[in-house]
Amino acid sequence: MSPRGKLSTAKNAEPYCSCWQQNMKLVGPLEMNTCSCGEEDDIKEWRWEKPADSVSDHVVLSENNQLVTFHPNTSSGTAFVKGDTPMEHNYHYYWEVKMLTNSYGTDIMVGVGSDKVDILEYRHKFTSGLGKTIESYGLSYTGRMLHASMKIIDRRFTGFCRGDMLFYNLRRHSVVYPMVCSTAVQSSFKIVYASSWKASLLVDALKILSASAKGDKIKLPLGLRNQLKSQFWITMPSYAREDALGATV
């Protein structure tokens, strides 16, 4: 969640870029955000799902549901938003979210959760909402990763964001969605990339090839090479791109 190519030396995650300021006041409908940093690839297979009316004051969507702002006025607990499209079995999913505001407060998390996650359960409680039960996994802005209320990773972002994060469903849940949650006032996330590819021998072979190839170029047939321009993450070295989340369902 810090700028690509430059690891933050701060204790917690920093904004992706400086286009948005921490003291920016959000009054009424969100103004159009002009930030396009890190959005070179305009591929978004899903967007954020419109929140229920009961929490609409704490979860505001804009920019064609790509941008979510939590608690635009005041916070009284933990607000969630999930993707509008479930992940199918036998697919690889890769997505990136851009954090536009400074991280602070009880918790700000990115992760995945099943259709059994109650996104309204903690609306009046300040907590780490993702990873509370076996139905979700959550990566905190502090570097902790939670599942079933257990800390399964305890590393700061200064060392953690060198590669991508993988979630393996292993058919444990029938339906899984990408999710983010926050307790912080005026905290914002934007989807900058979201793609998928059906699991196959081709995908596995490309991953092995990219891991063993020397240099930046992999010699592939022209048609396949052009297709991979938009699916860069399949042959991506583990250190090449930060702020990445992925799931194999």
What mean pLDDT is reported for the chain? 76
Taking only the tens place, the pLDDT of each residue in 94-116 is 898 988 888 899 999 999 999 99
- pTM listed for this prediction: 0.75
Residue 171 CB-density burial (10 A; 0-12 exposed, 13-18 middle, 19+ buried): exposed
Residue 227: count other Cβ atoms within 10 Å of its Cβ.
13
Taking only the tens place, the pLDDT of each residue in 179-222 is 999 999 999 999 999 988 888 887 777 777 666 666 555 666 66
Taking only the tens place, the pLDDT of each residue in 19-43 is 755 445 444 344 545 678 888 878 8
86 CB contacts (<8 Å, ≥6 apart)? 115, 175, 176, 177
Please give the structure tokens belonging to residue 202.
């081709």
Report CA torsion sign: 81, 85, 90, 96: negative
The pLDDT score that the predictor gives to residue 216 is 55
The pLDDT score that the predictor gives to residue 2 is 35
pLDDT band at 243 (very low <50, low <70, confident <90, very high): very low
Name the architecture of domain 53-248.
Sandwich (2.60)
Please give the structure tokens belonging to residue 39.
């959005």
